Amino acid sequence: MNGPEKIRATGWRQGSVIERQSASEKLQTLLDGTPPGLSHWLVLTQDCDLVNGSYEKEPEVDCSVAK
């Protein structure tokens, strides 16, 4: 499973908190350059956009790092 269907399978929704340990290696590397203690993401993208099913229509997911 790859692409938008993988996002749907994770159960992410707006307001979801994603811990570094549960993220893929690719997502974990995004935190490597952040200040110490920032080890989570908070999903900001609206649910309908997050699970759209088309990277062409909704190519990005908005998140904020947090601790």
Q: What is the pLDDT along the chain (67 residues), one digit of tens a residue?
A: 666 777 778 888 899 898 877 777 877 787 777 777 888 889 898 888 887 778 788 888 888 888 8
Query: Residue 41 is encoded by which pair of tokens?
Result: 């993401």
- Rounded Cα distance between 53 and 49, Å, is 9
Give me the pLDDT at residue 62, please.
Answer: 87
pLDDT of residue 18: 85
Measured between its terminal Cα atoms, the distance across the chain in Å is 30
Query: What is the rounded distance in angstroms from the CA atom of residue 51 to the CA atom of residue 8?
Result: 6
